[in-house]
């Protein structure tokens, strides 16, 4: 009989501190602000020949690497049609629907392939990044990978990435 298992990993260092703002449907922008995000993952898969779903020692550095890539950065949604983002050699210019203009040093910004910087969209982005790195390094794919992004204690978004997504 085939049994499914999962691993759940949440370490104190699975975190990132970033700033962002949301663009709402009506074009309004919330004020620029930041969060101390925390991430945890759950990977579902059958037991491997090693009697493990996936080695904790292999997944932890990957999650940490993804979190570290977002740490101390301004997160901008590169796929938001309401934002105009221009990049030069040294800076990022961001124009919002309310005609606000932001200029940031390029090294302080990460433009993400998402439509908004909500916790939900960040969970999607992080899920795909983890899956990509696990596949590249270990030729392994979780049939189901659940990523939780906690924006503040008690407030989080969860995304479940299926193997065929």
Whether residue 1 is predicted with pLDDT greater than 60 in this model: the reply is: no
Q: Does residue 2 have a pLDDT over 70? A: no
Tell me the Cα Rg of the chain: 17
How large is the average pLDDT for residues 18-33? 94
Question: Which residue segments constitute the domains of the chain, with CATH numbers given?
Answer: 4-73+118-162 (3.30.479.10)
Residue 136 has a pLDDT of: 98
User: What pLDDT is stored for residue 45 in this prediction?
Assistant: 93
Calculate the average pLDDT of the chain.
Answer: 95
Residue 126, CA distances (Å) to 30, 36, 63, 100, 119 in order? 23, 15, 8, 28, 10
Nearest to 13 by CA among 61, 55, 45, 47: 61
Q: What percent of the chain has pLDDT over 90?
A: 90
Q: Which of 2-6, 9-13, 115-119 has the lowest mean pLDDT?
A: 2-6
């Amino acid at each position: 009989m085939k049994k499914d298992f999962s691993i759940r990993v949440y370490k104190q260092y699975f975190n990132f501190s970033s700033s962002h703002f949301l663009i709402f449907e009506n074009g309004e922008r919330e004020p620029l602000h930041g969060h101390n995000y925390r991430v945890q993952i759950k990977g579902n898969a059958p037991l491997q020949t090693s009697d493990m779903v996936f080695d904790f020692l292999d997944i932890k550095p990957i999650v940490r690497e993804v979190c570290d890539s977002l740490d101390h950065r301004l997160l901008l949604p590169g796929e938001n049609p309401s934002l105009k983002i221009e990049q030069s050699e040294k800076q990022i210019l961001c124009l919002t629907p309310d005609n606000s203009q932001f200029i940031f040093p390029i090294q302080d910004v990460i433009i993400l392939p998402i439509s908004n910087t909500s916790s939900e969209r960040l969970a999607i982005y992080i899920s795909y990044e983890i899956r990509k790195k696990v596949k590249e390094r270990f030729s392994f794919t979780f049939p189901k990978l659940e990523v939780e992004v906690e924006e503040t204690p008690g407030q989080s978004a969860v995304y479940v990435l299926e193997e065929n997504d």
